Amino acid sequence: MFGMYIFTGPVENEPMLYVLTIAFIFGFEFGPGPIVWLYLSEICNDQATSVNTVANWAWTLVISISTLPLNNSLGGSVWLLFGCCNVAGFIYIVLVMKETKGVSKE
């Protein structure tokens, strides 16, 4: 995200934006992307998993809908905003999420 900010604002380089977008998608899918689904299924009962799934998809929808208006109003700075949110999410994952290996469902 920070690279997309750099190549959208100060340095205009459209091919590099494509490369960074693909790198972000690749890194997300093989990194922290699936963790939410695995973690929810391990720590929650069925009803809580359903509620968390709806909440996750609702926030995904909010980000999807708000990206274009934010990009139009903030320009390339929207990628800086998203990058800061990613850093905050990473810090949250490291500090709050507990290890579930070897722990019973109860």
Instruction: Show me where the domains of the chain are located.
Output: 2-96
pTM confidence score: 0.62
Classify residue 101 by its DSSP letter: T
The series of mean pLDDT values per 10 residues for the chain, 106 residues long, is 72 77 81 75 80 87 88 81 85 79 66
Q: How far is CA 35 from CA 12, 40, 41, 51, 94, in A?
A: 34, 8, 10, 17, 12
3-state secondary structure of 68: helix
pLDDT at 65: 92
| Burial of 5: CB neighbours in 10 Å, binned 0-12, 13-18, 19+ | buried
